[in-house]
Amino acid sequence: MLRGNRMLIAGLAGLIAAAVVTTVAIAPASAATTASWAAWAPLTGAGGAFQTTMTLAGQPALAASVASDSRAGQVGVISGASAWLAQGTPVGAKYGSSQNQPYLNLRPKADTPAGASTTTYSFPTPTPSTNWTFVLGDIDADQVRISAVGADGAALTADELGFRGGFNYCAPGVVGKPSCAGDAADVPSWNPTTLTLTGNAAAADTSGASAWFEPSVPISSLTFVFARRSGLPVYQTWFASLARDITGTVTDAGTDPVDGVALNLVDASGTIVGTTTTAGGGLYGFPGFFATDGYTVEAVLSTGKIAVDASRKPADLSTADAVVDFTIRDIVPVAVSGNVSDSDGNPMPGVVVTIDGITTTTDTNGDYLFDTVPVGTHTATITTPDGYTVTTSPPPFTIPDGVETPITDVDFVVAANPMLSGTVTAAGAGVPGVTITATGPGGTRSTVTGADGGYRFPLLPTGDYTIEMTTPDGSIAVGPATRSESVAVDDVTGVDFAIAKTGSIEGAVAADDGTPFPGATITITGPDGSTPISSGPDGTYAADALPPGEYTMTLTVPAGYTVVGPTTLTVTITEAGEAFSDQDFVLLADAPTPTTPPSTPPAGGSTPTGTLPATGVDPAFGAAAWIALGTLVVGASAIATTRVRRRSMR
């Protein structure tokens, strides 16, 4: 009977050196789920250009670079003295309390309606697909729009973002809550259409309003666009994850435990993330790995040994700890082995090899092994991996009668299809987390730029492609966002894109006494032309998503008013995307036009006697009438004085 399996060969040094590998000690056959809150590096940079690193706990540690254009002031990584997110909260019930664990405080780019900040978390290694969370806190007088890009470069849907609900960590009855006063009904609302989390309807500054999410697919980048609704808001961010253990035993066919067997733990991407060796009765363990699916445990067998069923077995940690056992035996002649590599000599793991209808799979070194191959002539074939072409195949081989000598070096070589690559930059620096899409033969595929802004599409079939950049929130393309390229034999490089951050302008129009002036026309002129806008009911005006360039704001002076100061203001938005506020205008009401004064009586003439002319007053008018007239004049003067005083007090 022909049996298929794989033999792992020594020589892992090159692959291990290129991967993040955790070497673990022997673990007993007991396991536990552990929950951990993320660690943060100090926040560096300045307002408008902050950076830090967030690291999810688990094996191997998963770090994200963080970039934010939040303004300065009460921002930063809050140390382990924090008191929020007790175990009595919904997220605390699964991930434990965050009390005494760090978190991140950030703000808008500017405390204006148009001054939203953008914060992006870029994961060089995609996140797990289960059992990790991010929490947004103090969402009351503000709102956050959330977006994420998957490992495949596609934007996550609302369902994939995994909104788990809102809660208030200061509400009465929360077990272990901090000494803060909150309302259980005060929770943010989630709009799955706009992917926006919004605070209370009154936009009032309150305490404890929060929400938590558990994405259901691996992500490469996560972005929060945080906007002020009123006041001077701050928002909080936490991350947490679960870890579980893989344990097992290795025994021989006679049920005796085997010590000294090496094992590898391989993640879903094919990377070796852990190594260990059996001891203490054939036991091994991989403790504390992210609680997700997609792991493979690989037994590295010594010469002359083969696994009874398979030397590579799956391990799923998404719902519980995993137990993966192996049984090995001696190889039964005749053994046939070989290797699959690419044209550069790199091993090709996971390739299916077939002999006489029996299949096996290459290991992380590209090696494979069959035993009990019968007498006769045989041909080995492989299932060609996507994006490759077989360039070298071994000839048929013959096993003679009565010979048990192993057949070796039944090798294959495959050549990779060409690769297309490029970089996304802003002001000359690489931009991580930008989605790039390539459409051509075989359909559409997407990827995300790495920490250096680079991207690549390997293994492309020959043909014409359209390469498109999805411009990130708060940015604008500098030059084309779409390019056309042809892929033939050689790699295509230098398919680059550039972006710049957009800026905003905000100001107000008011009377000289501070009264808002609605309906005033302000014309904003910039690189894309002129646009008139009107001041709102509160006298304010704003323009956002403005590309770099010089801008002028010119006020059309209303009739009956004069501007106090210039009628035109000028600012320059650079590729850093500044948010300009306080671009204000003040109007002074024109003085009323005086009435024509009476004419001066002619000089000279005699002293009038007797009856005055018709324009005068008859002497018979009497003393009482004169007194009444005087009283009337005094009263009018008092009224005028009161009006002047009231105006001066506005």
Q: Are 534 and 496 in contact (CB under 8 A)?
A: no
Which pLDDT band holds residue 626 (cuts at 50, 70, 90)? very low
Spacing of C-alpha 514 from chain mean position: 41
- Residue at 464: amino acid letter: D
pLDDT at 13: 33
Quote the tokens at residue 327.
Answer: 């049984």
Average pLDDT over residues 112-138: 93
415 strand-pairing partners: 389
Nearest to 64 by CA among 121, 141, 148: 121
Mean confidence (pLDDT) of the chain: 87
pLDDT at 32: 75
Distance from C-alpha of 231 to C-alpha of 225, rounded to nearest angstrom: 17
Per-residue pLDDT at 524 exceeds 70: yes
> Of 108-117, 387-396, 629-638, which gets the smallest average pLDDT?
629-638
3-state secondary structure of 69: coil
Distance from C-alpha of 217 to C-alpha of 211, rounded to nearest angstrom: 19
pLDDT at 448: 87
Quote the tokens at residue 158.
Answer: 């609302």
Per-residue pLDDT at 112 exceeds 50: yes
Between the alpha carbon of residue 451 and those of residues 90, 120, 455, 498, the distances in Å are: 33, 11, 10, 15
pLDDT at 641: 34
Per-residue pLDDT at 645 exceeds 60: no
Which alpha helices (H) appear in 158-234, and where do they start and end? 158-161
Establish how many alpha carbons lie within 13 A of residue 416's alpha carbon, considering only the half-sphere containing its beta carbon: 17
pLDDT in tens, 76-95: 999 877 889 999 999 999 99
Q: Which residues contact 296 (CB under 8 A, 6 or more apart)?
A: 265, 266, 312, 313, 314, 315
Which pLDDT band holds residue 450 (cuts at 50, 70, 90)? confident
Sign of CA dihedral 602, 607, 613, 617: positive
Question: Can you list the domains of the chain with their CATH numbers?
Answer: 3-31+245-405 (2.60.40.10), 34-242 (no CATH), 420-500 (2.60.40.10), 503-589 (2.60.40.10)
pLDDT in tens, 255-278: 799 999 999 999 998 899 999 999
